[in-house]
Structure 1
Amino acid sequence: MKKYLAGMISLLLLLLAASCSNDNNEQDTPLPELLEVKLTVNPEKAEPNQAIIFEAKVTQGKEDVTDADKVTFEIWRAHDEKHEKIDVKHSENGIYRLEKNFDREGTYYIISHVSARDMHNMPKKEFVVGTPSEPEDAKSTQPMEGMDMKDDHEADNGH
């Protein structure tokens, strides 16, 4: 019985050692490089019906990503509820390109939704066609006129 118990303990210790060894090997494996997307708009200020070129340059480390699972450009005019989504194919050297004209003036936004190699990246850019309209985030980033935040905070504290 003692030999059987000693054998079982030895087997358990061997399995435990093998398990710990596998864990260490997994930790030594480097993590994959992050998916990088450089979104460009050319020109960033265009006239109505002038062609605008949108490009998403997709890389992982130093490698161009030519095999993205999906690249979609989402485009809308500031404060419009309707967003246009256009699927884009690989053009060259990790670049996914779209050329588009706009007949309505205003401030616009584009987000490139890029899914590749089990990662997702979605940079956003603003661009203008003709005369700019009110940007979407103008109200949230601008302090109200005549308001001094320090004075209001001190007033709340009884100063």
Structure 2
Amino acid sequence: MGTRRKEGRIDNVKFTFSRFAQKLMVIHVSLLLVGCSHIVQDHQKIEEKPKKLEVRLESNPTQVHVNEKLIITSNITYGNEKISKGAEVMFEVIENGVSYGNLPVKPSNNGEYQLELKFMEPGQHQVISHVSYKNLHEMPYLNFQVTE
């Protein structure tokens, strides 16, 4: 039995490969391609910038009186994307230093998270929006001086 060889020509130069050399070349080229694809993937990972979670908290009205309806609105963006689903949003209400706990809220039809409330006593009050999304957490707050 003889060794199988494959012949070929490049620019009138004759060359011959044994079966072993053919397999070795295929393995070498395959490893080279696999290595290059990992370099491209790693480069793409480096270029991806982490997106920032931003929470804008607003109130209407801004001047608050006892027993007056107050609407707190939280708008959430992740990078350039407005978030209306998938975020965990809670509002913490603090009246004169006493926290009344966290109140979970769902997004409205326009994607905003809103809480409607009334302060029953005058004094210094605060509302904190606790927002969790994709392992990120933000806690913007608004302070109010509630008057009679």
- Normalised by the length of structure 2, the TM-score is 0.68
Moved over 6 A (4+): 7-14
Q: Supply the distance in 1 between the matched residues of 2:31 and 2:75 (Cα, whole angstroms).
A: 52
The count of aligned residue pairs is 129
Partners of 1:77 and 1:106 within 8 A in 2 = yes
* Alpha-carbon distance change, 128 to 68 in structure 1, aligned in 2, over 3 angstroms: farther
Higher helix share: 1
Counterpart of 2:41 in structure 1 is: 22
Q: Supply the distance in 2 between the matched residues of 1:46 and 1:58 (Cα, whole angstroms).
A: 24
Partners of 1:67 and 1:116 within 8 A in 2 = no
* Alpha-carbon distance change, 17 to 37 in structure 1, aligned in 2, over 3 angstroms: same
Deviation at 1:110, TM superposition (A): 1.1
Higher strand share: 2
Counterpart of 2:49 in structure 1 is: 31
Q: Which runs of 5+ in 2 are unaligned?
A: 1-25
1:105 pairs with 2:116: no
Q: Supply the distance in 2 between the matched residues of 1:68 and 1:19 (Cα, whole angstroms).
A: 32
* Alpha-carbon distance change, 68 to 11 in structure 1, aligned in 2, over 3 angstroms: closer
Q: Supply the distance in 2 between the matched residues of 1:86 and 1:100 (Cα, whole angstroms).
A: 11
Counterpart of 1:41 in structure 2 is: 59
> Aligned with 1:55: secondary structure?
strand
Q: Supply the distance in 2 between the matched residues of 1:52 and 1:75 (Cα, whole angstroms).
A: 12
Partners of 2:91 and 2:105 within 8 A in 1 = yes
Q: Which runs of 5+ in 1 are unaligned?
A: 1-6, 132-159
Percent identity of the aligned residues? 32
Could you say what the CA RMSD is over the residues aligned between the two structures, in angstroms?
A: 2.9
The match for 1:115 among 124, 128, 132 is 132
- Normalised by the length of structure 1, the TM-score is 0.64
Q: Supply the distance in 2 between the matched residues of 1:20 and 1:26 (Cα, whole angstroms).
A: 10
